[in-house]
Amino acid sequence: MKSIFITGVDTDIGKTFVSLGLCLSAHQDGLKVGYFKPFQSGAYEKEGKLIAPDLYELEKFCKIPTMYSYLFKGEVSPHLASIIDNVDADINKVKNDFDFFSKGKDLVVIEGAGGLYCPAIKGKLFSDVIKELNQEIIIVTTPSLGRLNHTLMTIECAKINNINIKGIIINKVPKNKTLSEENFIKELKMYTNVEILGVIPEVENKTIQNVTNVFQKILLNV
């Protein structure tokens, strides 16, 4: 069984979209794939049921198995959300859930929250969770102004914590680029040799086929 942890250089960077793309591509290739979200914040009620937003986003496109360990209502870091909901989250539950969920699957895509130093539970950042699960990471970034700094800092953070980096996915690349966006990849390559796994354009019409087409080649490198 293969697994990969999707992290980002910031919040609202497109981690769920990247996770969706990898899951859809793997599913289309006939692989048994699953999506695991250790900590899901921002849950909301719909028709009397508490909805996990990131899992719901995937389930709209494809009926692949999904799982979370903890579901919180607050749209804040998982640690703060757990305090608000008065839940004492345990990393051992996450590890046991992941081991159970992974059985019989060819690929498990794990999605974090925020970035590597986002607080996950009491005393642990997401960098700690990644090490506890013994995962390699894909870093999701965008070419927006300021994101070169965020991306390089995330790479250094991973190295300091002895976390292996599979590569970088550059997401939300617009058709009409600013000067900063136009030169983002060139500048990024000047300061790091971490592999760029894929460059994802802004996808307006998110159909199963459109998303799968964008991520098909990237999946080969995962």
* pLDDT tens-place string over residues 137-164: 999 999 999 999 999 999 999 999 999 9
Q: Are 170 and 144 in contact (CB under 8 A)?
A: no
The CATH number of whichever domain residue 93 belongs to comes to: 3.40.50.300
Q: Flag whether the pTM goes above 0.85.
A: yes
In the predicted structure, residue 86 carries a pLDDT above the cut 90:
yes
The SS3 of residue 43 is coil
Name the one residue in this structure whose structure tokens are 């000047």.
190
Q: What is the rounded distance in angstroms from the CA atom of residue 24 to the CA atom of residue 109?
A: 11
* Per-residue pLDDT at 107: 97
Does 205 score more than 90 pLDDT?
A: no
Structural domain count of the chain: 1
Is 37 tagged catalytic? yes
> Can you tell me the mean pLDDT for 192-209?
89
| d(C-alpha 201, C-alpha 221), whole Å | 18
Q: Is pLDDT at 221 greater than 80 in this prediction?
A: no
- What are the tens digits of pLDDT across the range 96-138? 999 999 999 999 999 999 999 999 999 999 999 999 999 999 9
H or E element: which one contains 66?
strand 66-71
CB-based burial of residue 113 (10 Å sphere; 0-12 exposed, 13-18 middle, 19+ buried)?
buried
The catalytically annotated residue of 2, 15, 32, 37 is: 37
pLDDT at 196: 96
Q: Is the pLDDT of residue 206 over 90?
A: no
| pLDDT at residue number 130 | 98
Residues 27-85: pLDDT tens digits? 989 999 999 999 999 989 888 888 899 998 888 888 899 999 999 998 899 999 999 99
Q: What is the pLDDT of residue 46?
A: 86
DSSP state, residue 202: -
- Ranges assigned E (strand) in 84-134: 107-111, 119-121, 124-125
The pairing of beta strand 165-173 with beta strand 2-8: unpaired
**Is 173's pLDDT higher than 90?**
yes
Domain extent for 12: 2-220
- Split at pLDDT 50, 70, 90, the class of 12 is confident
